[in-house]
Amino acid sequence: ELKVSEKKYRVLFNYDPNCLFMAEMDSAKILDLNKAATKAYEYDREELLGMSLFDLLDKEDVQRLRNELGRLAKEGDYVFVPKLWARKKDGDDFYIDFHARVGKFRERQRGSLGLSLIVRTVDITLGLERQAQLVQASKMATLGEMATGIAHELNQPLNVMRMGADFIAKMIRRGQEISDKQLLTVSRNISEQVERATNIINHLREFGRKGDFRVYPVDLNQPIRDVFTIMGEQLKLQDIEVNLETDKAIPKIMADRNRLEQIFLNLVTNARDALKEKGPEDIKKITITTYLEGDLVVAEVSDTGKGISERIREKIFEPFFTTKDVGKGTGLGLSITYGLIRDFKGGIDVESIPDVGTTFRVRFPTSKEKRKSE
């Protein structure tokens, strides 16, 4: 009966489509594995036996898994680690979700019960690639919608450069001498504006770049400031006042700076659109506040627009839901924003009062680093 039971277990174990491993609790040394694991990681069974689970990961993610397995040994019987970067025998990378549970087994030689890890890894590369394509499409749509605003951002430094060049040309035509001091001032102004325009263009290229999903410690205030490299001038032209009330001492969060910028670009764009409905005499203001709330870093994006009804608030994060006219919005901005925030283990909620304004509140766990002021 025991042999029959073991045979059934072996059939189920081997023919599970996901990668299954049995490993030592302390060292994560692989004790057993199924056929799916040899196929996914492209090692022979004999090669994998005796290797550590850590050997199957990119170096950057090894410590992350060590921390989670250490917590599992001390606190519980199950752990889920999303989006680990795994590595095949030939060096090719792919993304996995890692599930581990503590199991008990009887040692044949001693007859005593021991603890082991029962591990399941799921290849999520295809799903992440599709998500990345959707995020990239949203980026391009955002940049397309903002083309006029970006032109305004570049127009100002170009105008300053033209004025400097016109001044020099006029002085030459009149046969007037240009002092070294005047020439130095004009050349310095032109150089500063060239640098400003270059920074805007480089920033747009960086924002539009398609990148891998990676997380690392980020100062949340930085991507918030980056948003106004793209949008600052157009908000001025629309008479929208911007208040940045950022706490410089907040700890870093684990995220991707480029995708954080997309989150806040979407939220600020939403706030800008809400203020378009206001009259010329109304106050148009966007306020962004960051602060620490327990173990969470919080960012609030508030506007003085007309608010969002409760009926719309219930649907606001659904894909393709939009209140804009046909052709003026994809309906993906807030849906993608919600997904990106969840990727970084964060949360978002919205509060709105009709005819007063709306506040989107985003929360992220800290990266466990000390506050900068300490």
Give the CATH number of the domain where residue 116 resides: 3.30.450.20
Q: What secondary structure letter does DSSP report for 264?
A: H
Residue 371 counted as domain residue: no
d(CA 155, CA 145): 17
Q: Same domain for 228 and 312? A: yes
Q: Determine, yes or no, domain membership for 312.
A: yes
Same-domain status, 148 and 40: no
What value does the mean pLDDT of the chain take? 82
pLDDT in tens, 5-62: 666 667 777 778 889 999 988 889 999 999 999 999 999 999 999 899 999 998 888 9
Q: Write 124-128 long-range contacts (CB < 8 A, 24+).
A: 124/83, 124/95, 124/96, 124/97, 125/94, 125/95, 128/83, 128/95, 128/213
Same domain, 254 and 347: yes
Question: 90 or 367, which is more confident?
Answer: 90
* 154-178 average pLDDT score: 86
45 and 84 both lie in a single domain = yes
> What does pTM read for this prediction?
0.58
Share of the chain above pLDDT 90, in %: 30
Is residue 178 in a domain?
yes
Whether 198 and 249 share a structural domain: yes
Distance in angstroms (rounded) separating the CA atoms of residues 323 and 316:
9
| Residue 243 and residue 212 share a domain | yes
**Domain coverage including residue 18:** 2-123
For residue 176, the SS3 value is: coil
Same domain, 240 and 99: no
67 pLDDT band, cuts 50/70/90, is: confident
Q: Which amino acid is at 43?
A: Y
Query: In this predicted model, which residue has the larger pLDDT, 330 or 246?
Result: 246
Which alpha helices (DSSP H) does the chain contain, by range?
A: 2-15, 35-41, 45-48, 59-75, 125-145, 147-173, 180-208, 221-237, 257-275, 310-313, 333-343
* pLDDT at residue number 326: 43
pLDDT reported for residue 374:
39
Phi and psi, residue 76, nearest 5°: -155, -165
